[in-house]
Amino acid sequence: MIIAISDTAARQRSAVLAADGIIPPSRIEYIGSRPGRGGAGQPQAFTIEMTPGQEFGAHYHTVDQYQVILHGEGRIGRREVSTYSVHYTDRYTGYGPLVAGESAMHYMTLRAEADPGPQYMGQPGARERMRPSKRRFLLKCDIPTLGAEELARLEQPRIDTLFPAHDDGVLALAWRLGPSMTALAPDPAQGGGQFLLVMDGELLLDEPLGRHSTIFVHPGDESVAMRAGAAGAQVLLMQFPRGGQAETAPSSPQ
């Protein structure tokens, strides 16, 4: 079953959770549960709004994940990133630190399977708990969005390849759809699940999905039939590897 949530709905729900002390105000829940609160095997998407100069240390996760810079700038390790940059890491692949720049850095984390929390490299035993994986670190920086006039001139969908298809299904694309244009997303059975993230404009599914709205597609679902709103739509599609399965690891505070 395809899961979709608008940015507006996610922020409204998160405001309630923050008011109840369940999540910090800097966290926006889109899909799934918070790390360490169950939901193993279920998709997970959330945004962290880092303040200027804030830093998260180098760490790894026990599941595969994408991260998308939604606002601001900073760096991941030594690599400079800004809006919109897309980052993929395999499970048990160390990366970081994440450091927000002068104008802050907001990023969305997307996982086909929930994770119990980051394993910081400086913690005792963290390196010993790492297990074999492909250890991929993929990064595409500064993905532009087209202006309204450029979108209006499109005669057919434009597809930009961010990460070419890997033999296990990893793939990332940017779709540009003109006003009211339609397109069929790739078959989700080719990978281990897909996330679609609206960068700009609006997708029309069961409800209008505007900027930063998020969709998860299970491998057994039908391909998403995308239809752009009156101003067009620009959409990131991020596909996970086949055969992923989350593994249990101790939870860290962040």
Q: Which residues contact 193 (CB under 8 A, 6 or more apart)?
A: 43, 112, 216, 217, 218, 219, 239, 240
Do residues 23 and 98 touch, judged by C-beta distance below 8 A? no
CB count, 10 Å around CB of 247? 15
Q: Which pLDDT score, from 0 to 100, does residue 34 have?
A: 60
Claim to verify: residue 128 and residue 232 sit in the same structural domain? no
pLDDT tens digits, one per residue of 191-206:
999 999 999 999 999 8
What gap in Å lies between CA 44 and CA 46, rounded to an integer?
7
Question: Which segments of the chain have a pLDDT < 70?
Answer: 33-40, 244-254
Claim to verify: residue 100 and residue 199 sit in the same structural domain? no
Claim to verify: residue 80 and residue 199 sit in the same structural domain? no
pLDDT tens digits, one per residue of 123-149:
887 787 878 889 899 999 999 999 999
Q: Which pLDDT score, from 0 to 100, does residue 120 have?
A: 84
Domain boundary among 140, 156, 184: 140
Q: Which residues contact 92 (CB under 8 A, 6 or more apart)?
A: 60, 61, 62, 130, 131, 132, 133, 135
In 3-state terms, the chain is what percent helix, strand and coil (to 5)? 10, 45, 50
| Domain membership of residue 130 as a residue range | 3-140
Claim to verify: residue 9 and residue 134 sit in the same structural domain? yes
Helix (H) or strand (E) segment spanning residue 86: strand 86-89
Domain boundary among 114, 140, 166: 140
Do residues 183 and 234 touch, judged by C-beta distance below 8 A? no
Structure tokens belonging to residue 19: 């008011």
CB count, 10 Å around CB of 71? 17
Here the CATH number for the domain that contains residue 184 is: 2.60.120.10
| Tally of domains within the chain | 2
Say if 244 falls within a structural domain.
Answer: no
Q: Which pLDDT score, from 0 to 100, does residue 39 have?
A: 53
Do residues 226 and 185 touch, judged by C-beta distance below 8 A? yes
